[in-house]
Amino acid sequence: MDDVAVLNQEPAARTVLHGLHLELGARMVPFAGYEMPLQYPAGIMAEHLHVRAACGLFDVSHMGQIRLRAASGTLRDAALALERLVPADIAGLAPGRQRYAVFTTETGGISDDLMVAAEPDALFLVVNAGCKLADLAHLQAHLGGTCEIALLADRALIALQGPGAEAALASLAPEVAAMKFMDFRRLSIDGHDCTVSRSGYTGEDGYEIGMPGDAAEPIVRRLLAIQGVLPIGLGARDSLRLEAGLCLYGSDLDTGTSPVDAALEWSIQKSRRTGGARAGGFVGAEIVLKQFEQGAVRRRVGLLPDGRAPLRAGATLFLAEDPSRPVGHVTSGAFGPTLKAPVAMGYVATGCAEPGTALLAELRGRMVPVTVGAMPFVPSTYKR
């Protein structure tokens, strides 16, 4: 999960780390209503490779942090309430654990993707920046009568990603070394109340750390002073998540795409599927669960183009054995520095989704051979 790909023309806000980005020489761009760092002087390629080899620090404070608490004060009631809006098993989420989920629409599409963490008496949600106000309104409209829903606008969010992330963060908070992938903790960093999840958006081991806004710059400066930790911008964040086969809302996911289309069936646990203990009950359930049984007409796949030129979103895909027959389109594409080759993601007719299928993509007026590839393109290194 992450923010919509469309760059807004008029940035409406700055994160609390804006001044530090400028000090570090960042090239700033408008993104999802915020002015955000695209890259630093080292450049996107070097930043990408540094995350794979060491540790990168990302400012993701533009994303939405929401706390959802049931009027009864119990975690289970909060979880059962949220299950009305997402198809994931939230009631089965133990305190101190986190899970990926999607908000579904009446037509079975996806209005946003999010992370949901269980605290002892509430749920902690991280949603995409471009969707956070709509998500807040959605939650309030459906759950406002039984739940307290608060957008935590006074908090910052950063991500530490890469093989050096554990050592870097453990130097400030030793407890994080014992955490496993998708663990969630509240702990003190430099005396500040922080949330820490062992997760991220790069395919690498790492953490996302929420903190009070006024604590963000001092904590980030301490982390950047650690050898091997460098600031990383949106450019490398995009190529890292694409190599990891992770979706970008607004590009690979939207209201016209179902979880089954998007190959996200794994995010709908058995308890929420037909025959499960709490089957259905979420918005658009009838349509989504029918797709489980009957299949979808299209499928999200990984794409490996020949040559070194990256494919871009919108490029039409054709079956190689019949170049007159369009079978899909590209939704995300970039050069993959780890692979030293371009990688892409897109949707194709289900019959063309098998890895190894030969396709053609239209690129600047010419046809480029493309092979459907298994994702992730780069193996993940999560600490299980």
Which two three-digit tokens encode residue 155?
Answer: 């908090």
Q: What is the domain class of 13-61+154-243 according to CATH?
A: alpha beta
Sign of CA dihedral 9, 13, 17, 22: positive
Sign of CA dihedral 262, 265, 267, 271: positive
Task: Count the Cβ atoms, other than its own, within 10 Å of residue 215.
Answer: 18
22 three-class SS: helix
- The pLDDT-based confidence of 365 (bands split at 50, 70, 90) is confident
Q: Does the structure show a pLDDT above 50 at 5?
A: no
Domain map (residue ranges) of the chain: 13-61+154-243, 297-376+380-384
Average pLDDT over residues 226-247: 98
pLDDT of residue 2: 55
As a whole number of angstroms, the distance between CA 368 and CA 307 comes to 8
Side chain identity at 285, as an amino acid letter? A
As a whole number of angstroms, the distance between CA 46 and CA 218 comes to 25
pLDDT digits 0-9 by tens, 141-191: 999 999 999 999 999 999 999 999 999 999 999 999 999 999 999 999 999
pLDDT of residue 7: 44
The candidate with the shortest Cα–Cα distance to 64, out of 143, 133, 137, 148, is 133
Q: Does the structure show a pLDDT above 50 at 6?
A: no
Total-model pTM: 0.95
Supply the mean pLDDT for the chain: 96
pLDDT of residue 11: 47
> Under CATH, which number does the domain 297-376+380-384 receive?
2.40.30.110
pLDDT of residue 4: 42
Average pLDDT over residues 72-88: 98
CB 158 within 8 A of CB 80: no
pLDDT digits 0-9 by tens, 352-362: 999 999 999 99
CA angle in degrees (0–180, nearest 5) for 50-51-52? 90
Based on the number of CB atoms within 10 Å of its own CB, is 94 exposed (0-12), middle (13-18) or buried (19 or more)?
Answer: exposed
Which two three-digit tokens encode residue 251?
Answer: 């590009």
Strands ordered across the beta sheet of 184-189: 184-189, 192-197, 206-212, 155-161, 55-59, 229-231
Which two three-digit tokens encode residue 174?
Answer: 């030793």
> Helical H runs in the chain?
18-23, 44-53, 75-82, 132-143, 165-170, 213-224, 234-243, 285-294
Strands ordered across the beta sheet of 27-31: 13-14, 34-39, 27-31
272 three-class SS: helix
pLDDT digits 0-9 by tens, 237-276: 999 999 999 999 999 999 999 999 999 999 999 999 999 9
Average pLDDT over residues 21-32: 97
Q: Does the structure show a pLDDT above 70 at 1?
A: no
- The pLDDT-based confidence of 10 (bands split at 50, 70, 90) is low
Which two three-digit tokens encode residue 189?
Answer: 């960093």
Span of 199-208, 229-238, 359-368 with lowest mean pLDDT = 359-368
Average pLDDT over residues 46-58: 98
Side chain identity at 264, as an amino acid letter? L
